[in-house]
Amino acid sequence: MATKKVEILVAPKPAHFVGDGFRVHNFIPSDAHLDMKRMDPFIMLDYNSKFNFTPTEKPRGVGVHPHRGFETVTIAYQGKVEHHDSSGGGGIIDQGDVQWMTAASGVLHKEFHETEWAKKGGIFQMVQLWINLPAKDKMSKPKYQAISNSQMQNVDLEENGFVEIIAGEFNGKKGPAFTFSPVNLMNAKLKKGGKVEFNFPANFNTAALVIEGNILINGAEKVATDHFALFENEGETFTIEATEESVVLILSGKPLSEPIAPHGPFVMNTREEIVQAFADFNNGKFGVLED
Ligand code: MN
C-alpha cells in the first residue's frame, strides 16, 4: 500500500460568530482548496477553537432555523450545548459527546449553550460538520443520534494513546454512529511521542484537524494546533505522530459524487429542489419549534 501524502495545509481563517454562541473558523467550504466537492460528503466544517465565554444568565447560541438534505454533526471538546428540534429530538451534549442530527426531509432546530454551563462560563471548543446525504435519502425521515463519549469505541494503542471512533472503522472496531454512506470520523488521542497509522481507500476524501497539540504527518509534515491537513486522493496509509500530547480529528469519507445545490440551510441536488425547500419551509412543512 502506498503512502497518502498531504496535499495542502490550511491555517484557520479569522473567526466569525454564528449567532452569539459559536465563534468559528470556517474551513469547508470557504477555503479556496475546500469547496463542497473537495471533501464530499463533508460539505461544511466550522471549528470553534478554544474561546472563553463569560458567565451569563441568558445562554448564547443560535435561534430556530431550518435544515434539509444533510446531517449536522456537533463534536463537543469543551463546554456543553443544549439542542432541540421540531422532530422531537434534542438533549444536552456534554464535553466529549457528539450530536448527530439527520435533518433529511427537514427540521427546525436551535442550538444554545447549556443553561448551567452558561451561568458559569468557561472555555468552549467544538466542531460542527455538515455531512451530505445521498440523493435517495435526502427526503427521508429526520433522525437524531445522541452519542455519549462512553458509547464510542476506543482502540487502545498502549503507550501511544488511543483512537476514539465516532463513526466508521479503525483496526477492526466500529463506531456507534449510523451513517448513510461510508464515513469515518474519529479522534486520535495521542500521548507525547505517540504514533498511529491510518489506512483508508485512496479515493476517500480524507483530512485531519489538530484540536490539541502538535503533530507530524508521515514523519515530515508539521501541523500545529487548529490547523487542517487535506490529503491527496492517492495512496492509502498515513501516520500521525504527536510531538506533544495531542488530539486530532480524522475525517475520511467515500465521495457521493452527486450534484450539490446548496442554498443557506438547505443542500439539495438541483435548483428546483431548493425552490421546493423554501416553499415547504414557508408552508410550515418543517414542523413547529418555539423560540
Ligand atoms: Mn443548525
Give the per-residue pLDDT at 155: 98
* CB neighbour class for 249 (10 Å; exposed up to 12, middle 13-18, buried from 19): buried
Instruction: Kindly give the distance from the C-alpha atom of residue 102 to the centroid of ligand 1, in angstroms, as a whole number.
Output: 11
Strands 122-132, 81-85: pairing kind: unpaired
What structural domains and CATH numbers belong to the chain? 6-253 (2.60.120.10)
Give me the tens of pLDDT residue by residue for the chain, a chain 291 residues long: 899 999 999 999 999 999 999 999 999 999 999 999 999 999 999 999 999 999 999 999 999 999 999 999 999 999 999 999 998 888 999 999 999 999 999 999 999 999 999 999 999 999 999 999 999 999 999 999 999 999 999 999 999 999 999 999 999 999 999 999 999 999 999 999 999 999 999 999 999 999 999 999 999 999 999 999 999 999 999 999 999 999 999 999 999 999 999 999 999 999 999 999 999 999 999 988 887
Instruction: Kindly give the distance from the C-alpha atom of residue 235 to the centroid of ligand 1, in angstroms, as a whole number.
Output: 35
Instruction: Kindly give the distance from the C-alpha atom of residue 195 to the centroid of ligand 1, in angstroms, as a whole number.
Output: 35
pTM tops 0.85: yes
Give the per-residue pLDDT at 94: 96
Give the per-residue pLDDT at 79: 98
Instruction: Kindly give the distance from the C-alpha atom of residue 2 to the centroid of ligand 1, in angstroms, as a whole number.
Output: 38
Give the per-residue pLDDT at 87: 86
Direct distance between the N- and C-terminal alpha carbons of the chain, in angstroms, rounded to an integer = 53
Give the per-residue pLDDT at 90: 86
Give the per-residue pLDDT at 89: 85
Instruction: Kindly give the distance from the C-alpha atom of residue 262 to the centroid of ligand 1, in angstroms, as a whole number.
Output: 14
Instruction: Kindly give the distance from the C-alpha atom of residue 142 to the centroid of ligand 1, in angstroms, as a whole number.
Output: 14
Instruction: Kindly give the distance from the C-alpha atom of residue 267 to the centroid of ligand 1, in angstroms, as a whole number.
Output: 12
Give the per-residue pLDDT at 109: 93
Instruction: Kindly give the distance from the C-alpha atom of residue 214 to the centroid of ligand 1, in angstroms, as a whole number.
Output: 30
Give the whole-angstrom CA distance, residue 21 versus residue 59: 8
Give the per-residue pLDDT at 88: 86
Instruction: Kindly give the distance from the C-alpha atom of residue 196 to the centroid of ligand 1, in angstroms, as a whole number.
Output: 33
Cell (9 digits) for 234: 492517492
Give the whole-angstrom CA distance, residue 239 versus residue 219: 7
Q: Where in 176-245 does DSSP place strands (E)?
A: 183-190, 195-199, 205-212, 215-217, 221-223, 228-231, 237-242
Instruction: Kindly give the distance from the C-alpha atom of residue 72 to the centroid of ligand 1, in angstroms, as a whole number.
Output: 7
Q: Is 104 left (phi over 0), alpha (psi -120 to 50) or beta?
A: left
Instruction: Kindly give the distance from the C-alpha atom of residue 110 to the centroid of ligand 1, in angstroms, as a whole number.
Output: 7
Instruction: Kindly give the distance from the C-alpha atom of residue 236 to the centroid of ligand 1, in angstroms, as a whole number.
Output: 33
**Strand 98-102's sheet: what is its strand order?**
16-18, 22-28, 42-53, 122-132, 70-78, 98-102, 143-147
Q: Measuring CA to CA, which residue among 196, 226, 198, 222 is closest to residue 210?
A: 226
Instruction: Kindly give the distance from the C-alpha atom of residue 219 to the centroid of ligand 1, in angstroms, as a whole number.
Output: 38
Instruction: Kindly give the distance from the C-alpha atom of residue 97 to the centroid of ligand 1, in angstroms, as a whole number.
Output: 17
Give the per-residue pLDDT at 119: 98
